[in-house]
Structure 1
Amino acid sequence: MAESNNLKFDKDKHIRFFTRTLQVLPSRYEVLDSNRLTIAFFAVSGLDVLNSLNKLSSSTKKEIIDWIYSLQVVPDKHGSNKRKCGFRGSTTNGVTTHKDIKVAEVAHTFDSGHIAMTYTGLACLIILGDDLSRVDKTACLEGLKALQLKDGSFESTLDGSENDMRFIYCASCICTMLDDFSPINESLAVSYIKKSKSYDGGFGQGPGQESHGGSTYCAISSLLLLNQLHNAFSQKEIMRLQRWCLNRQKSGFHGRPHKDDDTCYSFWIGASLKLIGSLELCDWHENEQYIISTQDSVIGGFGKWPQSHPDALHGYMGLCGLSMMGMHNLSPINPALNITQRASDHMFSLHRTWHEEKLKNQSPTLTDAMGTHFGTTVMAFVIGLGAVFLPWIYSNFSGSE
């Protein structure tokens, strides 16, 4: 696409920005030390959107994968901490898990997974091509189930925290990635989402709260992942949501009325429109120009606003906004999971493998095509088929009137 106003997308600088993010960060990132896993997600998935994961060597990818597994909170030998399992955001609390340990000797009292870190941790593993074989799925799902509250929302950690739409979204993504929705009471979650819809068509973080671009994305994505969007809302309500989202565009997008445009909302609002099939109704060129106007021409990445410092979150969301519009040869993304379609395809291939293994373990006589039992089953089927069709053939073609 031709670019005006001398704004040019600089792919090479964005690649360097995200590879550098995985190595060293400015001092202002110190406040995010407990959320290192989320920063890693922005960088790893950003490289994937740029079709540049090959910039990471095999040894580097393995090192990142092993580091992520060191952040997994595993059950102790008594199972006393299963409700706290998942992934922690970093080793800030001084606790780490050896990559080969599946059961901890003793659980640390203040060590627990965080729902957002579990989502970004699993996402990173999938993006890097891991087979999730070292994930304790049972413990992760049990830890997730313990976080849902009576109103249907989820809190981030078992020891008490905020609870809102963000964590319903994280829960929906975790269950999608692990291919098991049993931890979620879906009727309660859907009820919470419906109660959080505002008069103007958007969604707040909870019932009675102001509509916001981020919470609207989380609500719509969660309903789609739960396969409940069109059961929860009528077409008229979807059209009202569409109007609210489209009204969030000035040049780029903003998250609430009367706010300035902000790079990240090109994803939050753009993805919401994409998920309801309406992204083509916004002005793509204006959105592209706004995103690129926030690009740092020296070190790469995107900032919140033009002339602001680039950061990992806005750098990643800016790329996703451009990707959804099919620009600059970026890798297509799965907007509901916020990972590339390539990574999503890998996830589904894992699911197929799990299903095949489960079926084989449950019904070996049906899945072992070379086994004796399978041959006996086929023979019985053929005999039964003959018993039905031979009399019919005889009666219809024997020539008798």
Structure 2
Amino acid sequence: MSLVAGPGRGGVADDQLPDELKLVIDKHVAYIQSLDSRRNELEYHLTEHLRISGIYWGLTALHLLGRPDVLPREGVIDFVLSCLHENGGFGAAPGHDPHMLYTVSAVQILAMVDGFAELEKKIPDGKTIIAKYIAGLQQPNGTFAGDEWGETDTRFLYGALNALSLLNMLHHQQPEQSPLINVTAATDHIKACHNFDGGFGVMPGAESHSGQIFTCLGALSITGELDSYLGEEGKDRLGAWLSERQLDDSGGLNGRPMKLVDVCYAWWVGTSLAMIDRLHWIDKKKLTAFILRCQDPEQGGVADRPGDMVDVFHTHFAVAGLSLIGYPGVLEVDPAYCMPKHLVDKVLGR
């Protein structure tokens, strides 16, 4: 299996693009590597509430760019474990309250750096403790809260399934044990969020949104119910809605009708189309050009739109989007996990 994304996966060959529209890999690697050295900048401290997610975004992008070792593995593991609470949840940074989103990011980071052994050394049964924290946030209707305060969202449900599967704690992975969560109730909730236009919302009755579509399809994919639930007719309806998110003038994608394009939707829309085998319904060359116009070719990093300030969030999703559409030199991303596919395969033993 080739790990390098290229024209063989239906991508856009590098020589088909103007010279000024080439991915400046070394610049992006240097930009991500420099983020932790900017502690004298106000922005560093204003984004502390995103710190562990920022590590996940940066580390994933580095893996996909073929440069995972530029971040010190031991330092990454030490920081992640410093965010762990006794109840098994992770905060965004040391001293921050635990939350589902940061717990998922922590598990994904540990999976990418092969850090579960270090977790178990420091905290015996650490994986089980984390899994029980996640399971404890499931609600009676099958969905999940983000934290003890009870806000629910399909993002949290998807994240729970993502992390539990990486921990090998979903019931279908451990059939001899009592299930930690009610997977059937979780998938039933996802199906209740399905709309007449083919998309999914944040909750039953909410409007369709590309980001929520990803979380719902990702959840159904992880539980093995995506194909059986949607069928070809459902995929066609959803694929039509998703493909309409591409705007002809820029080639970029938006999250819902009448909204601005944003480079992060190269992932949210693109991977949703990939999971239903409809990625060929959008113009990959135009999308590639849009993503590359959003990068800073001098300092590295990618912005939401051309000319805006770069950040690690959009850099991550830009690189992941390029992986989906087969940009040469970018490793293959797993559509359901938003992690390097070869690492997900290794962790899941597939």
* TM-score tier (shorter): 0.7 to 0.9
Tell me if 1:139 matches 2:136: no
1 or 2 for the larger relative contact order (CA 8 Å, sep ≥6)? 2
Note the C-alpha offset of 1:219. 0.2
Q: How far apart, in 2, do the equivalents of 1:120 and 1:243 lie?
A: 31
2:194 and 2:201 in contact (8 A); partners too: yes
Change (3 A) 1:236 1:345: closer
1:205-284 equivalent positions in 2, closer than 5 A: 205-250=202-247, 251-284=251-284
The amino acid of 2:80's aligned partner reads I
Q: Which amino acid aligns with 2:115?
A: D
| 1:45-100 per-position Cα deviation (integer Å, ceiling 9, x unaligned) | 111111011333xxx211111111121223xxxxxxxxx4222211144xxxxxxx
Q: Is the 8 A contact 1:252 1:261 kept in 2?
A: yes
Correspondence for 2:162 among 167, 173, 184: 173
Q: For structure 1, which runs of at least 5 residues remain unmatched after alignment? A: 75-83, 94-110, 353-401
Aligned counterpart, 1:345: 345
Q: Which one-letter code corresponds to 1:31 in the other structure?
A: L
Task: Name the SS for the 2:310 alignment partner.
Answer: coil
The answer on whether the counterparts of 2:199 and 2:238 sit within 8 Å (CA) in structure 1 is yes
SS at match of 1:233: helix
Aligned match of 2:191: 194
Contact 1:9 1:328 in 2 (8 A): no
Contact 1:172–1:222, Cα closer than 8 Å, also in 2 = yes
- Give, in angstroms, the shift of residue 5 of structure 1: 7.6
SS at match of 1:18: helix
Cα pair 1:21 1:43 within 8 Å, conserved: no
**Distance in 1 separating the partners of 2:67 and 2:25:** 10
- Give per-residue Cα distances to partners, 1:303-340, cap 9 Å, x unaligned: 01111100111000000000111113101111111100
For residue 23 of structure 1, the aligned residue among 37, 40, 51 is 37
1:114 to partner: Cα distance? 1.4
CA distance in 2, matches of 1:162, 1:24: 33
SS of the equivalent of 2:50 reads helix
Q: Which secondary structure state, in structure 1, belongs to the residue aligned with residue 23 of structure 2?
A: coil
Question: Does 1:38 find its partner at 2:23?
Answer: no
Aligned to 1:323: 323
Pick closer, same or farther for the CA change 1:303–1:122 going to 2, 3 Å: same
Q: Structure 1 residues 23, 129: CA separation in 2 closer, same or farther (over 3 Å shift)?
A: farther
2:4 maps to what in 1? Answer: none
Give TM-score, length-normalised by structure 2. Answer: 0.86
Could you report, residue by residue, the CA deviation over 1:177-211 in whole angstroms, capped at 9, with x for unpaired residues?
01111332122111211111122111111111111
2:94 maps to a residue whose letter is: T
- Secondary structure, in 3 states, of the residue corresponding to 2:330? coil
Aligned to 2:180: 183
Of 201-210 and 233-242, the range deviating more from structure 2: 233-242
1:114-135 CA distance string (max 9 Å, x none) = 1111111111112123244525
For 1:86, the equivalent position in structure 2 comes to 89
Q: 1:115 aligns with which of 73, 80, 100?
A: 100
Equivalent pairs: percent with the same residue?
27
Tell me, yes or no, if the aligned pair for 2:142 and 2:189 is still in contact at 8 Å. Answer: yes
SS, match of residue 73 in structure 1: coil
**Correspondence 1:73 to 2:85:** yes
User: Whole-Å Cα distance in 2 between the matches of residues 259 and 207 of structure 1?
Assistant: 22
Q: Cα gap change, 1:23/1:161 in structure 2, threshold over 3 Å: closer, same or farther?
A: farther
Question: Is this contact kept in 2: 1:22–1:43, CA < 8 A?
Answer: no
Larger Rg: 1
Give the distance between the partners of 2:152 and 2:38, measured in 1 at CA.
32
- Indicate conservation of the 8 Å contact 2:38/2:44, yes or no: no
1:345-364 map, 5 Å: 345-349=345-349
Provide closer, same or farther for how the CA distance between residues 92 and 308 of structure 1 changes in structure 2, counting only shifts above 3 A.
farther
TM-score, normalised relative to structure 1: 0.76
Query: Which whole-Å CA distance do the structure 1 matches of 2:286 and 2:95 have between them?
Result: 42
Q: Which runs of 5+ in 2 are unaligned?
A: 1-13, 121-125, 171-178
Indicate if the aligned counterparts of 1:271 and 1:336 stay in contact, CA closer than 8 A: yes
1:151 aligns with 2:141: yes
